[in-house]
Amino acid sequence: MSDNEFAKNLENNQYFLSLPKFVQESIKQTSPDLRSEADLRKIAENLIREAEPGKVGGTPRF
């Protein structure tokens, strides 16, 4: 896991808390090297985009 204050305090970040649970869990499980909210936003937006219906490799929505 990343050893920086931003990554350690994700649970207190309002943007992180506003994300869908599947995005939060994916970010926590993959432990990206998050150094800033800009990094968090970029990763979250990519995860959400990949999960859109019709995308190859995305998370299916039922």
pLDDT reading at 6 higher than 50: yes
Q: What pLDDT, on a 0 to 100 scale, did the predictor assign at position 2?
A: 46
CB 21 within 8 A of CB 15: no
The two tokens of residue 25 are: 């869990």
Average pLDDT over residues 11-21: 96
Q: What pTM did the predictor assign?
A: 0.74
**Model confidence at 1, in pLDDT bands (50, 70, 90)?**
very low
Question: pLDDT (tens digit, 9 = 90+) per residue, 29-49?
Answer: 886 688 899 999 999 999 999
